[in-house]
Amino acid sequence: MLVSAPGGGSAQGVAIPNFWDPSVQLDRPDLTGLRTVRFLIDDDFPPLHFAALDTNPTGFSVELARAACERLGLTCTIQVRRFDTLLDALADKQGDVVAAAIPLTASLRQRFAVTAPYFKFPARFVVRKDRDLPAPTGTALKGKTVGIIGGTAHEAFAKAFMQMAALKSFPELRAAQTALKDGDIDYLFADGLGLALWVGGEDAGGCCDFSGGPYLESRFFGEGIGFVVRKDDETLRRAFDYALQQLWKEGKYAELYLRFFPISPF
């Protein structure tokens, strides 16, 4: 059931994922004469991409894009678009790279080229700190009540692999979080990113924390997100794959991760 982030590290007590195989060294392609690279983003999905207090775009994906451009010695611009228009704008050559939380899927790869993932959306368990419950592995869930969000991949995963638990479905995440905080359920199993924002936020009031490790089964929770380019920009894809690997090896990825994920979803 539990699939750990490959080669993950930690800093300042925060788990930092690593999606790059250390045995594979990517080559930097020749970028001589490459034009200014135009990134397309949405600014309404914190902490990955959002508008800062000064209205300028920022977020983990945005700053990673900027760092990759600097690592490659490229001049890059950031254009903000509505999320549902990003891929069409890329196809129409209104930009060169999409850096937003668009899931890597087979249908996306049919239309575009994508880098290796630089972020994934793990599923996680959360518990009340004062309940002293065991980590949710093996038979530990037997007889325990696990909150899930109806109609989600997390519900499907729980029904497939947590048959010894009593599953309690909620219509949306906020209701499930309230139930956990009030002690109406033992565990909450949901999207790790949303849970990380809640655990570290005011609404949780310090009540709860993660239990166990991240679940990254791609059949349920997807392959993550990467930079998206047009298929005829293979050199650009290879360049950003190279840059992302170098940013991990040199510590820049970890630096940015710690800035935007004080509570890690991993």
pLDDT of residue 58: 97
pLDDT of residue 9: 55
Rounded to 5°, angle at Cα 24 from 255 and 73: 50
The count of other CB atoms within 10 Å of the CB of residue 233 is 19
pLDDT of residue 10: 52
Structural element, H or E, at residue 175: helix 173-181
pLDDT of residue 11: 55
The count of other CB atoms within 10 Å of the CB of residue 133 is 16
pLDDT at 84 over 70: yes
Residue 12 to residue 6: CA distance in whole angstroms:
19
pLDDT at 236 over 80: yes
Structural element, H or E, at residue 44: strand 44-45
How confident is the model over 141-195, as pLDDT tens digits?
A: 999 999 999 999 999 999 999 999 999 999 999 999 999 999 999 999 999 999 9
pLDDT at 198 over 70: yes
pLDDT at 7 over 80: no
Model confidence at 14, in pLDDT bands (50, 70, 90)? confident
Structural element, H or E, at residue 18: none
Average of per-residue pLDDT across 99-110? 96
pLDDT of residue 139: 87
DSSP state of 140: G
The residue ranking higher by pLDDT, 232 or 10, is 232
pTM value? 0.91
How confident is the model over 125-148, as pLDDT tens digits?
A: 999 999 999 999 878 999 999 999
Q: What is the mean pLDDT of the chain?
A: 93
Instruction: Answer for the pair 257, 77: CB distance below 8 angstroms, yes or no.
Output: no
Model confidence at 1, in pLDDT bands (50, 70, 90)? very low
Average of per-residue pLDDT across 210-226? 95
